[in-house]
């Protein structure tokens, strides 16, 4: 997702991206990466960061600046990469249609979307394997919820525009446009249903930004991006932040410059502590 960071003394708003990566195999570890590149709003920030990486899947919301991802993933370079769109963002739009637009027809969409999230919470509690999660996601209960959503979506899209609030029209069009990407998650039990993980990682950053009255320069935003990338990754891996920082600086003070061994997943293996 993108996080807008006002830079004092400039007339435009800059952006920082939060990229949260789940471990899709035993070789890789979950990590949060905050990206800031001279306040750029362009897509090059993401493509430059990804480089030649082989991606299993990439999730975003449907913000216009991310539309290129779907097109980019159709190229030979990313032909095997699945583009996902966050279901939580779909839900938020129907919540807005219900609460601010007063449109009761949003209820049927919310009921079915919440049902899908309820399934995921059940899977988490049962601690099932990724293979079992894939099987259940493709089972009858999920299919019933999706069929209900699709049937009501087509029905509402055919109804008179005047009968719908602007928020309801926006929600319907969003779901229709990104239907395939929204439900890509059922293909693989390792795929998340939403990007709430990245959303939670961004929250401490936004709190600091407000408390510090924003950032006064590009350098300040870059430093904050590095700091939060480290702290968020440590937390994401279930480690103690203070314990990690203590070991990190002990290694630095002892002359360790093998920075790969000082990353959160390798810190306990560092030979130069």
Residue 6 DSSP SS3: strand
Percent of the chain surpassing pLDDT 70? 61
Count Cβ atoms below 10 Å from residue 11 Cβ, excluding itself: 5
pLDDT digits (tens, 9 = 90+) for 145-171: 999 999 999 999 998 877 789 999 999
pLDDT at residue 56 greater than cutoff 80: no
Most confident range, picked from 127-131, 156-160, 254-258: 127-131
Candidates 94, 174, 185, 95; CA nearest to 146 is 185
Place of tokens 């750029």: 40
Spatial separation of the C-alpha atoms in residues 257 and 268, rounded to whole Å? 15
Neighbouring C-beta atoms of residue 73, cutoff 10 Å = 18
Token digits for 27?
């070789």
pLDDT of 6 strictly over 60: no
| Residue 2 to residue 4: CA distance in whole angstroms | 7
* Segment of 61-70, 72-81, 107-116 carrying the highest mean pLDDT: 107-116
Long-range contacts of 131-139 (CB under 8 A, 24+ apart): 131/189, 132/189, 133/189, 134/186, 134/187, 134/188, 134/189, 135/189, 137/185, 137/186, 137/189, 138/186
Looking up tokens 């739009």 gives 93
So what's the pLDDT on residue 10? 40
Tokens of 14: 């800059």
The reported pLDDT for the residue numbered 118 is 97
pLDDT score, position 5: 38
Q: What is the pLDDT of residue 31?
A: 53
Measured CA to CA, the distance from residue 202 to residue 232 in angstroms comes to: 9
| pLDDT tens track for 80-101 | 778 888 899 999 999 999 999 8
245 has pLDDT over 60 = yes
Helix spans in the chain (H): 44-50, 67-72, 87-99, 106-126, 130-137, 140-158, 166-177, 179-182, 196-211, 218-236, 241-253
For residue 121, pLDDT beyond 50:
yes
Are 155 and 164 contacting, i.e. CB atoms less than 8 angstroms apart? no
Q: What percent of the chain has pLDDT over 90?
A: 34
Of 90, 101, 229, the closest CA to residue 150 belongs to 90
Distances (CA, A) of 51 to 11, 47, 124: 31, 6, 33
Most confident of 20-24, 32-36, 147-151: 147-151
Weakest-pLDDT range from 33-37, 66-70, 178-182: 66-70
CA distances from 163 to 22, 99, 104, 111, 203 (A): 42, 16, 11, 21, 37
Position 212 pLDDT exceeds 90: no
SS3 132: helix
pLDDT reported for residue 218: 64
Reported confidence tier of residue 62, pLDDT bands at 50, 70, 90: low
Higher confidence at residue 62 or residue 28?
Answer: 62
Q: What is the pLDDT of residue 82?
A: 81
Query: Would you state the pLDDT for residue 153?
Result: 96
């Amino acid at each position: 997702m993108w996080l807008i960071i006002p830079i004092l003394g400039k007339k435009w708003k800059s952006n920082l991206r939060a990229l949260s990566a789940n471990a899709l195999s035993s070789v890789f570890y979950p990590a949060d990466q905050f990206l800031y590149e001279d306040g750029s709003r362009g897509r090059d920030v993401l493509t430059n960061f990804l480089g030649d990486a082989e991606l299993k899947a990439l999730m975003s919301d449907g913000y216009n600046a991310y539309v290129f991802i779907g097109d980019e993933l159709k190229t030979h370079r990313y032909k095997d990469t699945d583009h996902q769109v966050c279901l939580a963002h779909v839900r938020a739009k129907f919540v807005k249609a219900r609460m601010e637009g007063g449109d009761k027809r949003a209820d049927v969409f919310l009921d079915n979307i919440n049902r899908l999230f309820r399934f995921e919470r059940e899977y988490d509690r049962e601690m099932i394997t990724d293979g079992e999660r894939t099987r259940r996601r493709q089972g009858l209960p999920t299919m019933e919820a999706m069929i209900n959503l699709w049937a009501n979506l087509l029905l509402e899209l055919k109804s008179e525009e005047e009968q719908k609030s602007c928020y309801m029209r926006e929600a319907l069009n969003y779901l229709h446009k990104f239907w395939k990407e929204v439900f890509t998650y059922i293909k693989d039990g390792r795929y998340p249903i939403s990007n709430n993980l990245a959303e939670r990682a961004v929250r401490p950053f936004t709190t600091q930004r407000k408390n510090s009255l924003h950032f006064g320069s590009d350098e300040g935003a870059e430093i904050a991006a590095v700091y939060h990338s480290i702290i968020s990754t440590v937390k994401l891996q279930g480690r103690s932040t203070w314990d990690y920082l203590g070991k990190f600086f002990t290694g630095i003070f002892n002359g360790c410059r093998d920075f790969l061994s000082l990353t959160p997943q390798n810190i306990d293996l560092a030979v130069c502590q």
